[in-house]
Structure 1
Amino acid sequence: MKRLTRFGLGLCVALVLAVTACTGPATETPGAPGTGSGSAAGGGTINIYLYQEPAGLFGPLAPASGPDGQVNSLIFQGLLGSDPNFELQPILAESYEISPDAKTFTFKLKPDLKWNDGEPLTSADVLFTYNAVANPKAKSAAASMFSSIVGAKEVTDGKADTVSGITAPDDHTVVVKTAEPNVGLLAQIGPILILPKHVLGEIPIGELYDNEYFRNPTVTSGPFKFVEYKTSQYVHVEANEHANPKPKLSDVYLKPMTSDVATAALGNGELDVATVSPLDLETIKGFDQIAVQEKLGAGFVRLGLNQSRDHFKDERVRQAFLYATNRADLVQKVLLGKAVVQNSDFYTPRAPEDLNEYAYDPAKAKQLLADAGWDSSREIDLMWVPGQRDRDASATIVQSQLKEVGVNVKLRQVQPSEISKIYGDKDFDMVLYGGGNYAISSDNVSVITSCDKHYPNGGNINYFCDPALDKIMKEANGTVDEAKRNELYAQAARISNEKADLFWLYSPMGLWAVNKRVQGFQAPGSQEVPFWDPASWSISGQ
């Protein structure tokens, strides 16, 4: 951890009755026996709100998805994880080191790790997982994160089956070597969820992504094990008797519903934990049994503009959209001040103070659009997954304010299961979404900006590309000196700000309502962030 700190990575997740009738058991009264089949000491069941329906493709290969990631955080584990302070902590790893030149990363696994079927979890599972995720044939959304590792290019080019720079000297050690300094690699590959080689190791790499395991991942290493996912109802997980430490709960139900229904369910005891809209905060504070935790998230809410389409390639158009939208007013009126306006891709508390704030200026927006030759008869679509009050309101506000400057926007609601195909087909103009963790390491920004990380090779779903930005990001990530690295990231933030690579809205406060009977829950930030240390959750009196 001393080496990690030195590199700065630690600095650098009738209606109500109708819902409860089909979404698993209601919350137990304090002191009641658990209803699940898990074997945790104390036991008990809690119900957690999911802000969206999961796509239902669990594990490390699928594109990032907030609700799926929250399910993953209960059943899967990586070598490392991000704690509520956005610092990397060992999970499956007992310790880790970075060489002084930031080219060798060594992980020591905890002793006696087991999968939930009792089989040992060793470095062979890590090698299997990393080689699968690094291989484009596996359709992995995270393959580009391995590009700097020695031997990764040979795998990408089809000249090798495994990455030579990832080795396991013994059952408890994994060593990763990069061709050049890569300070941010730890934050990118450390949290990757580890898969069981003894379950998946014989499956041809080209067939791995479509294997039923990822829809029904019954063999995992997390504190809970997967039981079932009933679409539009719940995901059920139960205690893993082979986990170390063992969870204190027997069962957890994760329930997708709209935010207004979630607020009512918190009030009548049908939910124990939920993120809440700022508009519902006063109502929530009126519930005697509920405590509220607040934390600024490590990501942000944005609109991705599809720059594979000619009408979004001109940065003046993207800048105009920012000027046309009163984002400060949106934060105050829709989020009641429980957010900060975002003006670059970087974690707001670390962004330089001299960024263009794109203050609301419709006249300037109109001029920029005219200069760019914007066709006022063109209709563009704004796509988003409905169900959260702040995002629903944001979509409507953006539509209205863009109309005032001559941009016609058609709202298009979609479901989570449609997202990956829409991205892959580039079948959208604008998509409103949120998330990301840009606090754990500023290099994570490269996942959504780099020219070589266009979807599906990374999280750059708006197909932006700026070689100058890529060059500075690469230089920063290869700079061991923290002060020099931070100055380079500041330069990168200024380029991001000028190019308006994304249509930034706001970085929200995570507002988590937690029933007082639930102990050990720590707000992970905004609503999309994976949960932290679910093994420690318990019910008071049990």
Structure 2
Amino acid sequence: MLMKQLILATSLAALGLLCASAQAQARKDGLVLAMTLEPPGLDPTAGAASAIAEIVQYNIFETLSKIGPDGKVTPLLAESWEVSPDLKTYTFKLRRGIKFQNGEPFDAAAVKFSFERAADEKSVNKDKRLFAAIDFIATPDPHTVVIGLKTIEPDFLFLIGQATAIIVEPKSAQSNAIRPVGTGPYKLENWAKGSAVTLTRWDGHRAASQLKIRRVSFRFISDPAAQVAALLSGDVDAFPRVAAARSLGQFSSDKRFQVIKAGSRAKTILAINNKKKPLDDVRVRRAIAAALDRKSIIEAAADGFGVPIGSHYVPGALGYVDTTGLNPFDPNKARALLKEAGVVTPLELSLKLPPTPYARQGGEVVAAQLAKVGIVAKIENIEWAQWLSSVYTNKQYDLSLISHVEPFDLNNYAKPGYYWGYENPAFARLLERINNTPREGERAKLLGEAQRVLAQDAVNAYLYQPVWLTVAKRQLKGLWTDMPVFVNDVSALSWE
């Protein structure tokens, strides 16, 4: 009897060790990473949602250059490059032996196709302006691409490392939104709509043998309470840009987790439709800006994790100047400006809010503050696809609370037909001077001037620069500690 008990105990212990070993092995090459929003598709050249790049950039798709967490640019599909003395011509030497996930070769022709497609008149690429500024693309051999720009673009190498500059395979390009084909280390395994996107390691990638994560699921959780619960239960391994500020102490004191406070180039703004009356009057836009207390909004929308801004620019960026004093919080001034503009209050405006927690929470405070100066902001909570359609594409809105996460996006203020409808030829000329000024010091001064113009024109009500929070299991290594762009580079991740 004793011998049977010993054998049983030994067997159970061995089984336990096997289970523990299997779990450890599964943990070593599997990952569940959560996101707030589900993307509308998986082609970043066909949609403006940053959630697309969070899944596909550097995972499924690759670019000529790669942006690191410190904002520095390194070679990716290009192994090297040279820039002409006039800063207008870039010669890229491409990596050899690379294939797309459908077996087609990556070469200079694919680069030329990708960039010309992005510049085409039918293109819906949100950075179309960048590609339209290309004067010529030459392919002297399959491994060399020469790109000539019409004007100087000081940040060109950074910009072509963004998701809108992915290199696509010509035969599969049209179906990338649902069946993405890239040169990246991961390929699409499954997309369970409303739940998760799962990627698996692509063994045809040049660095496949070095990848520590074999399979990753991007799970979509929009509710802040559910985000916290998923982390605490262990259902989620990492949640970049999580809405867990109110639970930060709980995670910081729990040895199971690591908390990363990451800097950003994002700008959270109250977008204003400059084409709608009476919002086409600068005095009304200035009144809206004067009605808003940035500090209260930061507390409500970001739980205090934000820095006030007065223009579409953030501290730390080249040439930043503090313009918050140009439109300070002043309800009395707001009322006076509305009266001066001939606005009869109450003025009713729509306030369309996307599903992100910062927008829903901050929108309530914005509406309450506007009400105190006679502006009735009617809140409409809409889903992300609706926001992209009604606000971004069709401009069917008055106000909207949104974060613009791209680091170099002042060009949007000179983009014809952009969703906030700002048209200022003087600003467009200033931006052209900025883009054609190679010396950093001179460019910084012009950037300061551009920030003042936007603040004075009160194109939008500029609120704050977010500080993004990432909560993850302590054993997960390789997470970005700063976020110049929104990506989740799975190839850099590993379990300790």
The TM-score with structure 2 as length reference comes to 0.89
C-alpha separation between the residues in 2 aligned to 1:147 and 1:29? 56
1:535 aligns with 2:491: yes
Instruction: Tell me, yes or no, if the aligned pair for 1:30 and 1:539 is still in contact at 8 Å.
Output: no
Q: Structure 1 255/357 Cα, relative in aligned 2: closer, same or farther at 3 Å?
A: farther
- Residues 7-86 of structure 1 correspond to what in structure 2 (within 5 A)? 32=23, 44-56=29-41, 58-73=42-57, 74-86=59-71
Structure 1 segment 235-274 matched on structure 2, within 5 A: 235-246=197-208, 247-257=211-221, 258-274=223-239
Q: CA deviation at 1:240?
A: 1.2
Of 122-131 and 59-68, more deviation after overlay is shown by: 59-68
Q: In the alignment, is the contact (CA less than 8 A) between 1:520 and 1:537 conserved in 2?
A: yes
The answer to whether 1:169 aligns with 2:137 is: no
- In the alignment, which residue of structure 2 is the partner of 1:39? none
**SS where residue 166 of structure 1 aligns?**
strand
Alpha-carbon distance in 2 for matches of 1:428, 1:336: 27
| SS of the residue 2:198 aligns to | strand
Query: 1:183 deviation in Å?
Result: 2.2
Q: Which moved more, 1:186-195 or 1:320-329?
A: 186-195
The alignment status of 1:220 with 2:182, answered yes or no, reads yes
Distance 1:34 1:317, change over 3 A: farther
Contact 1:59 1:76 in 2 (8 A): no
The separation in 1 between residues aligned to 2:338 and 2:65, in whole angstroms, is 46
TM-score (norm 1): 0.81
The structure-2 alpha-carbon separation of the partners of 1:174 and 1:34, relative to structure 1 and needing over 3 Å to count, comes to farther
> Could you tell me whether the CA contact under 8 Å between 2:296 and 2:365 is conserved in 1?
no
Matched, 1:502 2:460: yes
Q: Distance in 1 between matches of 2:161 and 2:29?
A: 32
Give the counterpart letter for 2:476 in structure 1: V
User: Does the 8 Å CA contact 2:269/2:463 hold for their aligned counterparts?
Assistant: yes
- Which sits farther off after the overlay, 127-136 or 282-291? 282-291
Give the residue type in structure 1 aligned to 2:479: F
- Are 1:410 and 2:378 counterparts? yes
Aligned to 1:429: 398
Aligned 1:466-477 pairs, distance under 5 A: 466-477=424-435
Structure 1 distance, partners of 2:78, 2:256, is 37
Q: Contact 2:323–2:455 at 8 Å: present in 1 too? A: no
Q: Is residue 196 from structure 1 mapped to residue 169 from structure 2 by the alignment?
A: yes
Q: 1:212 to 1:34 in 2, by over 3 A?
A: farther
Greater Rg, structure 1 or structure 2?
2
Secondary structure of the structure 1 residue equivalent to 2:129: helix
Deviation for aligned residue 1:30: 8.3
* 2:44/2:52 contact within 8 Å kept: no
1:111-510 aligned within 5 A: 111-150=96-135, 165-191=136-162, 192-200=165-173, 211-217=174-180, 219-246=181-208, 247-257=211-221, 258-274=223-239, 275-277=241-243, 278-332=245-299, 334-350=301-317, 351-353=320-322, 356=325, 358-388=327-357, 390-422=358-390, 423-438=392-407, 441=408, 444-446=409-411, 448-452=412-416, 454=417, 460-510=418-468
C-alpha distance in 1, partners of 2:132/2:355? 35
Contact 1:324 1:362 in 2 (8 A): yes
Deviations 1:84-116 (A, max 9, x none): 112222221112222221110122222222222
CA distance, structure 1, for counterparts of residue 52 and residue 363 of structure 2: 23
- CA 1:96–1:260: 2 relative to 1, 3 Å: farther
Q: Deviations over 1:398-445 (max 9, x none)?
A: 00000010001111111122233213222111122113232xx5xx31
Tell me by how many angstroms 1:499 deviates.
1.0
- 2:8 is aligned to none
* DSSP-derived class of the 2:114 partner: helix
Q: Distance in 2 between matches of 1:330 and 1:189?
A: 34
How far is 1:182 from its partner? 2.7
Partner letter of residue 360 of structure 1? F
SS at match of 2:302: coil
Contact 1:331/1:338 (8 A) holds in 2: yes
Which residue of structure 2 aligns with residue 88 of structure 1? 73
**What amino acid maps onto 1:538 in structure 2?**
S
Distance of aligned partners of 1:392 and 1:139 in 2 relative to their CA distance in 1, 3 Å threshold: closer
2:475 is matched with which residue?
A: 517
- Report if the CA contact (8 A) 1:232-1:256 is conserved: yes
Offset at residue 44 of structure 1 (A):
1.9
Instruction: Please state how far the C-alpha of 1:332 moved relative to its aligned partner.
Output: 4.2
Q: Is the 8 A contact 2:67 2:73 kept in 1?
A: yes
| Contact 2:290 2:327 (8 Å CA) reproduced | yes
1:154 is matched with which residue?
A: none
Distance in 1, matches of 2:341 and 2:276, equals 14
The one-letter amino acid paired with 1:222 is G
Unaligned runs of 5+ in 2: 1-18
Structure 1 position 374, deviation (Å): 2.2
Query: Aligned with 2:410: secondary structure?
Result: helix
Which secondary structure does the structure 2 equivalent of 1:419 belong to?
helix
Query: Which ranges in structure 1 are unaligned for 5 or more consecutive residues?
Result: 1-27, 36-41, 151-164, 201-210, 455-459
Distance 1:296 1:213 in 2: 31
SS state at 1:344 partner: coil
Helix, strand or coil at the partner of 1:138: coil
Letter in 1 for 2:426: A
> CA 1:347–1:29 in 2, change beyond 3 Å: closer, same or farther?
farther
The CA RMSD over aligned residues, in Å, is: 2.2
Q: What SS is found at the alignment partner of 1:356?
A: helix
Question: Within 2, Cα distance between the matches of 1:169 and 1:419?
Answer: 44
CA contact (8 A) 2:270 2:463 kept: yes
- Describe the superposition over 1:41-88 as per-residue Cα deviations: whole angstroms up to 9, x where unpaired: x962111111112112x2242232121110122211111232111222
Is the 8 Å Cα contact of residues 308 and 324 (structure 2) preserved in structure 1? no
Separation in 2, partners of 1:261, 1:286: 20
Does the 8 Å CA contact 2:327/2:455 hold for their aligned counterparts? Answer: no
Task: Report the 3-state secondary structure (helix = DSSP H, G, I; strand = E; otherwise coil) of the residue aligned with 2:216.
Answer: strand
CA contact (8 A) 2:298 2:362 kept: no
Match for residue 109 of structure 1? Answer: 94
Alignment length (residue pairs): 467
